[in-house]
């Protein structure tokens, strides 16, 4: 049938598999931790977004188990109807307090959070100003909205101002940026974004999926890192990274949250976060609040790894700030896949980044760290990476 012709023409996967360098869907046979068993072999995990290592924290696992015992395995309905647990409300209250906003609203996934926020907030005759390297969920949220999307060059504040200056002064405008960009590890220029937002009467939304638990006082995120929480209108993040669970949330002024709760189709028509996931996120949040040293340790490990790779001749991407995302370029697709496979077979899992996640000719291998890594493990991993890259 014609509708499936595109599927028949999609042969690139089989071609890569035939070459033996297909990098996806490796089978994990253990907990998500600093060391894993993947396809029957021990690997040092340098490709997880489990930034604080809380997926195996005893308090987080115990909370999930107790939630199943108390509430069962699912809520069988949307938050809008029968699916709101007392625990959902407690999680929202503590998240809002932690990031410094009046209120918060949770969604079943981080991807769905961006769909739900953007599609409900941005209406006809409104404009979105979006960084070109924003996450795919932001791109799709923009497509779901009825507003016009303008993409400015990555982290280019002059281009952002040119875009803003062309828009009607009285139009609704929302500037959206990742806090920490997931592939490069770059941090957005939030001070300049806020400055331009004030100048052109725009609102600011930060996707802090990779900044929450990583930046700011005790992991409060990118806005806190710059002291701009009050000037950042919407803060969004996910539970699948530092909060060791599944779901997402937005935090903002209460009237904005109430509007989204009653107008966001991805919120209204989706089942609520299951009890175990909600409990795990809540427990992880409380662990972070009790242990702010986890955030500083993650930063120390990232600096150690970055310096160690440089000393071994690995050309890591330079960054003004130290984040747990450390990429280094391998440029073309086939070289990237070959090196990723060789590193994997030598005992280290990391992520190959290919177009469209990276520009053509700028493919890279992406390392992401956990606060629970040890210096000994990182040394072992860096020696393996060095032996493969410089072979």
Q: Which of 88, 101, 241, 373 is catalytic?
A: 241
SS3 216: coil
Residues 6+ apart with CB under 8 A from 208: 179, 180, 221, 222, 223, 235, 236, 237
Residue 316 has what DSSP assignment?
B
Give the tokens for residue 129: 């100003």
**C-alpha separations of 72 from 85, 111, 276 in Å:** 12, 25, 9
- C-alpha closest to that of 323 among 234, 230, 225: 225
Q: Are strands 363-368 and 351-353 parallel, antiparallel or unpaired?
A: antiparallel
C-alpha 282/C-alpha 287 separation (Å) is 9
The answer to whether 231 and 101 have CB atoms below 8 angstroms apart is: no
The catalytically annotated residue of 57, 173, 210, 373 is 210
Is it true that the peptide bond before 356 is cis, omega within 30 degrees of 0? Answer: yes
Give the tokens for residue 241. 């990274």
Q: Which of 109, 119, 182, 264 is catalytic?
A: 182
Active site residue 145: no
Whether 182 is a known active-site residue: answer: yes
DSSP string, 318-377: P-SS--SEEEEEEESHHHHHHHHHHHHHTTEE-EEE-TTTS-TT-EEEEEE--TT--HHH
Task: Supply the residues annotated as catalytic.
Answer: 182, 210, 241
């Amino acid at each position: 049938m014609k509708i499936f012709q595109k599927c028949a023409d999609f042969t690139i996967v089989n071609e890569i598999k035939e070459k033996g360098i297909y990098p996806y869907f490796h089978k994990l046979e253990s907990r998500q931790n600093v060391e894993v068993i993947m396809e029957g072999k021990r690997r040092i995990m340098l490709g997880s977004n489990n930034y604080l290592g809380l997926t195996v924290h005893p308090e987080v696992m115990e909370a999930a188990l107790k939630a199943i015992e108390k509430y069962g395995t699912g809520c069988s309905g949307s938050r809008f109807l029968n699916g709101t647990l007392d625990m959902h409300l407690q999680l929202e209250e503590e998240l809002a307090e932690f990031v410094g906003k009046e209120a918060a609203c949770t969604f079943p996934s981080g991807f769905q959070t961006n769909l739900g926020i953007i599609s409900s907030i941005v209406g006809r005759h409104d404009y979105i100003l979006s960084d070109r390297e924003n996450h795919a969920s932001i791109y799709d949220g923009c497509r779901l909205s009825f507003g016009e999307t303008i993409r400015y060059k990555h982290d280019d504040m002059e281009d952002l101002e040119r875009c803003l200056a062309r828009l009607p002064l009285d139009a609704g405008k929302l500037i959206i940026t990742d806090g920490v960009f997931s592939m490069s590890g770059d941090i957005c220029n939030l001070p300049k974004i806020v400055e331009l937002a004030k100048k052109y009467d725009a609102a600011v939304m930060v996707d802090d999926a990779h900044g929450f638990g990583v930046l700011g006082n005790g992991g409060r995120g990118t806005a806190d890192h710059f002291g701009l929480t009050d000037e950042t209108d919407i803060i969004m993040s996910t539970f699948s990274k530092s909060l060791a669970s599944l779901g997402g949330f937005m935090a903002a002024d209460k009237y904005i949250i109430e509007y989204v709760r009653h107008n966001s189709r991805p919120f209204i028509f989706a089942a609520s976060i299951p009890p175990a996931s909600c409990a795990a996120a809540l427990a992880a949040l409380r662990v972070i609040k009790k242990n702010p040293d986890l955030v500083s340790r993650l930063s120390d490990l990232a600096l150690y790894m970055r310096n160690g790779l440089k000393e071994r001749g690995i050309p890591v991407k330079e960054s003004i700030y130290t984040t747990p995302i450390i990429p280094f370029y391998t440029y073309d697709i086939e070289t990237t896949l070959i090196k990723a496979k060789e590193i994997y077979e030598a005992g280290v899992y990391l992520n190959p980044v290919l177009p469209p996640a990276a520009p053509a000719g700028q493919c890279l291998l992406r390392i992401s760290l956990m606060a629970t890594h040890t210096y000994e493990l990182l040394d072992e991993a860096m020696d393996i990476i060095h032996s493969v890259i410089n072979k």
